[in-house]
Structure 1
């Protein structure tokens, strides 16, 4: 297979050199050019047509967000952002993902050379995932007039808020929704959450994300959703109408305390190379919530959570996986489906409504209890 062709855009000569070296060491990728600012990058991308671009956010003459917006509009290309771990950097990174970036890497503020070398595997894995992503399905290039079919494939349907089923109050206390996601998952999770009613059962989310970014992500979701969204806190009671996000660098799970469900947020070893790990969250869902759980596996690279999602199904949970056509990377859903974990495989825009339909179906019959 042809090597993945990568363009590196960063105003730091040191970072450009380090990233080029890391990329060129891989047998399946090649750095085909570097640029110090978006203007040079624009000409370089036109010349070499890369498969993936790594893009800094803070640059002179034009910041990375403005360049990303223009690139997605004029020449959609998979982009991995290289962002600084600051509050402002985290907010800008969330905006970059909203604009169409596939993923991001947090650039160390001190010890850049050593830090980037330590992140070598993560950087290269994210470049590989970006090269396989379906960025063209999310962003419509303004070239030749697209067919109606191409427009439907490239433009996500607007999120339609779901009407809560009757009798949801009791079920909202008894049921829990568990979501796992990775590459492309920030926008996919937003799509699901913004469709849910304000009295939805509590939602627990593990999105692969490093420390320092989940607070901004939770705040952004909270501003868009009818649910209250925040980072999970260890020991807190899980309430209907709330969504709880695993803090970056910590595992999230669920436990039972009397009649209530509570969140557990703890440190520990990475699971499937991830912390937080979907496997940890879904295993606790199988063990603690059983038939009161709904599982959702969204877009992402790898297989984290697939085995535990099968445990959820075996314990009586109802599971939905995102379909390949609407995924940025069809890795985690594919693995869950292969493990026999999914009851249904649905387009992203149908998942929220289907959760409420299934919840309504449980309201019409006996309700499972833990």
Structure 2
């Protein structure tokens, strides 16, 4: 049965364009469109689509408010369309906080080298988030206007709904020593990173490198948001940054983040990188440089995301004796990157999202 999609945008041209792309895939079908947020809420309830594509700026009811209302009344996987501006980044992050699962730029040429690639990417994203409807069941008990269940306060983190194991695992420390934590992610990553980082203490003993597939205009806003929510410091990485304990460095969108030097002399290099590389930033590239600089003293974690970025870098880390973990399938928005690492036999543990922070603290002897 084809995935049923509701397309929401105040532009008739964009509604038609998105509908045409989605309907090109026999596994997808557009069942209706909506011109504003309120119409989207009404049709989401009446038609019960499998996926909704949603604009942010619309009349009557904006996209973020529409997401909140839909998640309260009829939780549905939502893909946001955003402008690649600083304000667009902030609004998109607000939409993810409200419950949307993923986002894409409204200008398809910004995410693909050609029309065919853009078409395939949109179709793949819709199909990927359609599989995660069950993750949203916890929204049903909330009323419209109630804050979404994400980590929205530094002092009192609140968990976003994810699939949970029936029995909480009892973690044991391996006894290994570390100097660095590195985390790579893509689709679903902003919420996953927020979940983990907001649970870490201010005196976290090591630097943390964050590689999130994200447009260049988004990473500064995302780093600033995380910094405001977390006890640790979070910043967009800059060329020449010295790695400090208790500080997380988010790779800038559109560039590559490398590590040079060892221990207290380690610094970040931010470069443009090869245009033939699919991802900027690329988890494989950062992981590979970390393997050279820190060897076995690395705890690397691969979170939710499409594709297999991180697998090759994790292999290099594993060869050096580093520890590799992966997010489990049930709690991923898209089980692509973690699955690639797990199937390759590189991860020693597969962890639910809501347990990763605790597992990190146990492994580092902080719990």
Divergent runs of 4+, >4 A: 114-118, 152-157
State whether residues 96 and 191 of structure 2, in contact with CA within 8 Å, keep that contact through their aligned partners in structure 1: yes
Deviates more, 1:69-78 or 1:190-199: 190-199
The TM-score with structure 1 as length reference comes to 0.83
Alpha-carbon separation, structure 2, partners of 1:332 and 1:110:
24
Offset, 1:78: 0.5
- 2:145 corresponds in structure 1 to none
Alpha-carbon separation, structure 2, partners of 1:178 and 1:45:
39
SS of residue paired to 1:139: helix
State whether residues 294 and 318 of structure 1, in contact with CA within 8 Å, keep that contact through their aligned partners in structure 2: yes
- 1:168 corresponds in structure 2 to none
Offset, 1:298: 0.9
- 1:15 corresponds in structure 2 to 14
Alpha-carbon separation, structure 2, partners of 1:45 and 1:51:
9
Offset, 1:246: 0.9
SS of residue paired to 1:58: coil
Offset, 1:135: 5.2
Q: What does the per-residue CA deviation read over 1:200-236, in whole Å, with 9 as the maximum and x for residues that have no partner?
A: 2110011111121111110110001111101111121
Match of 1:206 among 211, 217, 223: 211
Offset, 1:138: 6.3
Matched, 1:197 2:201: yes
Q: Aligned pair in 2 of structure 1 residues 83, 125: CA closer, same or farther (>3 Å)?
A: same
User: Any residues of structure 2 matched to 1:1-370 within 5 Å, and which?
Assistant: 2-108=1-107, 119-134=118-133, 136-137=135-136, 139-142=138-141, 154=161, 175-200=179-204, 201-256=206-261, 259-269=264-274, 273-360=278-365
SS of residue paired to 2:296: helix
Alpha-carbon separation, structure 1, partners of 2:26 and 2:335:
23
Unaligned runs of 5+ in 1: 144-151, 158-164, 166-170, 362-370
State whether residues 319 and 342 of structure 1, in contact with CA within 8 Å, keep that contact through their aligned partners in structure 2: yes
Alpha-carbon separation, structure 2, partners of 1:360 and 1:262:
26
State whether residues 272 and 304 of structure 1, in contact with CA within 8 Å, keep that contact through their aligned partners in structure 2: no
Unaligned runs of 5+ in 2: 143-158, 165-172
SS of residue paired to 2:334: coil
- 1:149 corresponds in structure 2 to none
Offset, 1:247: 1.0
SS of residue paired to 2:364: helix
How many residues in Structure 1 have an aligned counterpart in Structure 2? 336
- 2:152 corresponds in structure 1 to none
Alpha-carbon separation, structure 2, partners of 1:68 and 1:153:
15
The TM-score with structure 2 as length reference comes to 0.84
Q: Aligned pair in 2 of structure 1 residues 203, 138: CA closer, same or farther (>3 Å)?
A: farther
Q: Aligned pair in 2 of structure 1 residues 343, 16: CA closer, same or farther (>3 Å)?
A: same
Deviates more, 1:318-327 or 1:115-124: 115-124
CA RMSD of aligned residues (A): 2.7
Alpha-carbon separation, structure 2, partners of 1:11 and 1:137:
26
Question: Which structure carries more helix by proportion?
Answer: 1
Alpha-carbon separation, structure 2, partners of 1:26 and 1:189:
32
Deviates more, 1:315-324 or 1:42-51: 42-51
